Structures are given as C-alpha cells and as structure tokens.
C-alpha cells in the first residue's frame, strides 16, 4: 500500500474497551449493545470516553432493528446528538433510510445538529439499492466518512463495491471498510480496494455463568482484546 499512514478505528461498548485501545488506535466508535449492532452509548460511558485522549465518535441509534425512524425516534436521536455535542466528543455516527434509499432529510437534520463534530454514515449504506448514489448524497450533505462492508455481510465479500466507492470518492469523503475485518484478511482487503481506513471490534467472546443466561441474560459477552488490537495495529503498520 503506497500510503504514509492507515487509519484504525475500533468499536467498543464498555469502559474496558477504552483501556484496551489506549495508544493503539486512531479513533473509537462508542456504542452500547454491540451484540445488537451498536446503539447510543449511555452518559457514563460518554463521560469516561471524554477523559481519554482518543477521539471518540458516538453511535446515534435509539433502538435495535431497521433504520426507518418515526418522529419519536428522530426526537430521541436529535437529543442524543445534543448531549454528545455538549459532552465534547469528537463526532457522531448516524444512518437512516426509507425503504432502500437514504433518508436524506433526517440525515441533514442530524448533520446540522452536530455542528462542528465529525459525522460518519454507518452501514445503512450497505442496505440501499445504489451505494454510489448514496455516497454522492452524503458528500453533498457534508459528511466526513462512510463505514461500509461493500454491501456484503462481511467486507472481504464486498471488495468490488468497496473498491468502486473508494475510487469514486476521489478524496472527497473517507471510505472506511468494516465488518468481519481481522488480522488474517486485513492485507487482502487493503491491497484489493486501496482503502486506507479500517474499522474492527478486535473482541473476544467470554462466557458468563450458567445461572445468568438461565435468567435471560447473554450466554457470552464480547470484550475488546488489547492483544488483538496491538496485532491489528502491527499489521497496518507493515502495510504502509
């Protein structure tokens, strides 16, 4: 990869993730409930993230499920953006759709509410019919980057679309590859798409006690693994 640097973002949903990423990542996507694809983080995690030196971007997603938001959802999202902005985080991560196209009206409102914070479009773009058209829409809205797997469940299976998005962006917006990216496929994705920005969870599954999941709690919990984060960083550095 003929690049001077490659950008590394890790998504976390617990305080321990901040420590696991310290000194190794360029940016954190701050969430709750990564097992549901990531929801808006709670105020405590937001406050703790602000104390760390890593730029943190908060997911703005009020519920699990689809990305077609009703009026109540939208009010909650705008309130969350205001709270994140007041807390002083570096950015937000948003997405909204109506059917198989982006909800540009809501995205415009969220971008406006963000003010000077950076704004990332999340993987809602992987669910639309025309990702290149969607990319042009979010460029026009002034977004900073797009997180995408190239329209496939895993980025390694969406290389053609990832490469097309990166090529068509021509530096106007950052295309960040994410979903299923690991130390074993990172080089392949980087070399075949020419993308220079990558998103991963770098987590391991830890089982919980039997009596917890008998009462309806999760059978496992995902924990950000610092050793995996460090190895991912090493592989990125080797590609420069």
- Report the pLDDT value the prediction gives residue 2, as an integer from 0 to 100: 38
CA trace torsion 180, 95, 10, 86 (10° rounding): -170
Between CA 84 and CA 81 the distance in angstroms is 5
DSSP, res 130: -
For residues 1 and 194, is the Cβ–Cβ distance under 8 A?
A: yes
Neighbours of 89 (CB within 10 A): 22
- Report the pLDDT value the prediction gives residue 152, as an integer from 0 to 100: 97
Q: CA-based angle 18:20:26, to the nearest 5?
A: 70
Full pLDDT tens readout for the chain, 240 residues: 335 589 999 999 999 999 999 999 999 999 999 989 999 999 999 999 999 989 999 999 999 999 999 999 999 999 999 999 999 999 999 999 999 999 999 999 999 999 999 999 999 999 999 999 999 999 999 999 999 999 999 999 999 999 999 999 999 999 999 999 999 999 999 999 999 999 999 998 777 777 776 777 766 678 999 999 999 999 999 998
For residues 42 and 74, is the Cβ–Cβ distance under 8 A?
A: no
CA distance from start to end of the chain: 6
Quick check: helix, strand or coil at residue 203?
A: strand
Query: E strands within 48-102?
Result: 56-59, 91-94, 97-98, 101-102
């Amino acid at each position: 990869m003929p690049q001077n640097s490659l950008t590394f973002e890790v998504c976390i949903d617990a305080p321990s993730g901040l420590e696991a990423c310290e000194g190794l990542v360029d940016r954190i996507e701050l969430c709750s409930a990564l097992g549901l694809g990531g929801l808006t983080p709670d105020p405590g995690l937001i406050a703790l993230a602000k104390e760390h030196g890593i730029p943190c971007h908060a997911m703005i997603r009020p519920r699990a499920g689809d990305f077609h938001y009703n009026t109540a959802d939208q009010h909650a999202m705008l309130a969350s953006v205001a709270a994140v902005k007041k807390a002083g985080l570096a950015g937000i991560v948003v997405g909204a759709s109506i059917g198989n196209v982006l909800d540009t009206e809501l995205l415009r409102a969220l971008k406006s509410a963000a003010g000077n914070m950076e704004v990332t479009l999340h993987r809602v773009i992987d669910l639309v019919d025309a990702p290149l058209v969607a990319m042009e829409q979010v460029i026009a809205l002034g977004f900073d980057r797009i997180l995408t797997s190239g329209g496939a469940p895993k980025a390694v299976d969406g290389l053609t679309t990832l490469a097309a998005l990166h090529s068509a962006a021509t530096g106007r917006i950052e295309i960040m590859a994410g979903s299923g990216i690991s130390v074993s496929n990172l080089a392949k994705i980087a070399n075949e798409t020419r993308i220079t920005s990558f998103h991963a969870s770098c987590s391991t599954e830890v089982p919980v006690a039997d009596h917890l999941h008998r009462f309806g709690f999760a059978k496992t919990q995902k924990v950000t693994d610092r050793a995996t984060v460090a190895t991912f960083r090493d592989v990125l550095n080797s590609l420069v």
